[in-house]
Amino acid sequence: MGQFERAIAVLLDMKNPGQDLADGLRRGQMGFYEKYILPKLTDILCRAKPLMMQRQKIVPLAQGRVLEIGIGSGLNLPFYDKAKVTHVWGLDPSKESLAMAQIQARRVGFDVEFIRRSGEEIPLDDRSADTVLVTYTLCTIPDVARALENVGRVLKPGGELIFCEHGAAPDKAVRRWQNRINPIWKKLAGGCHLNRPIPSLIEQNGFAIKRLETMYIPGWKPACFNYWGTAVHR
């Protein structure tokens, strides 16, 4: 049994998680799963130590007025540098995830304003953000091009897009598995794609990457090749 199935088993106390998940998919019960199970499951999986170490590397780079796209349950909030950040807009389409994020926000020393919208629909004024932060989010947004267009619109001149994402692996064998697993993974993981070419998506949609680092973080290889760095709007 893999980590994904174990997490679901903990939440649902399933005796046979693999079979029960398959039965649920056949019965069309994904609405219940996505609303009540997926937010908690995502929070559990995204608290894994390697992911939290990645957050610790990248989140403190944010400064000024920050838009965080895909804030989820607020796992990045403790890593912001309070001396550098004045305001955070936390954007996410999940009501249930935002409820968890609001609990995290009570413990930070800066203003956090939550916005229940998708990454393609950013209701901020032009040139209103000094920094836009995305962590493990570009894998899930259905229309990445539209989301990045909006990021470019809301960033102030000279502002930075800070990103940390998993995506297409450099090794052919791992990439083959990513491509094979991706259709069912998307259904179970809230639209998450294992195989998106993150740097290409950023550069093809109006940004120049200033800094880029990559590596496999510990864990299941198809989901663990990470890209992180900074980019500016061209």
* pLDDT for position 33: 81
Average per-residue pLDDT in the chain? 90
Q: Are residues 37 and 60 in the same domain?
A: no
Longest CA–CA span in the chain (Å) reads 54
Percent of the chain with pLDDT over 70: 87
* pLDDT for position 185: 95
Q: Are residues 141 and 28 in the same domain?
A: no
Range of the domain at 128: 52-233
Nearest to 72 by CA among 105, 50, 49: 105
What is the domain-level CATH number for residue 228?
Answer: 3.40.50.150
23-75 pLDDT tens trace: 554 555 567 788 878 899 999 999 999 999 999 999 999 999 999 999 999 99
> How do beta strands 207-216 and 111-115 pair?
unpaired
* pLDDT for position 131: 98
Q: Are residues 156 and 82 in the same domain?
A: yes
> How do beta strands 225-233 and 207-216 pair?
antiparallel
pLDDT at 16 over 60: no
Nearest to 128 by CA among 174, 178, 66, 51: 66
Q: Are residues 188 and 77 in the same domain?
A: yes
Total domain count for the chain?
2
Token pair 């267009």: residue? 149
pTM score: 0.87
Q: Are residues 60 and 142 in the same domain?
A: yes
* pLDDT for position 152: 98
Q: Are residues 124 and 90 in the same domain?
A: yes
Residue 187 tokens, joined? 């259904």
Instruction: Compute the distance between CA of residue 140 and CA of residue 207 in angstroms, rounded to an integer.
Output: 19
Q: Are residues 33 and 63 in the same domain?
A: no
Q: Are residues 134 and 18 in the same domain?
A: no
Q: Are residues 130 and 193 in the same domain?
A: yes
* pLDDT for position 2: 47
Note whether 141 and 120 are within 8 A (CB): yes
189-214 pLDDT tens trace: 999 999 999 999 999 999 999 999 99
Q: Are residues 105 and 7 in the same domain?
A: no
| Region of residue 233 (left: phi > 0; alpha: psi -120 to 50; beta: else) | beta
* pLDDT for position 35: 82
Q: Are residues 37 and 84 in the same domain?
A: no
pLDDT at 11 over 50: no
- DSSP character string of 35-80: IIIHHHHHHHHHT-HHHHHHHHHHGGG--EEEEEET-TT-TTGGGS
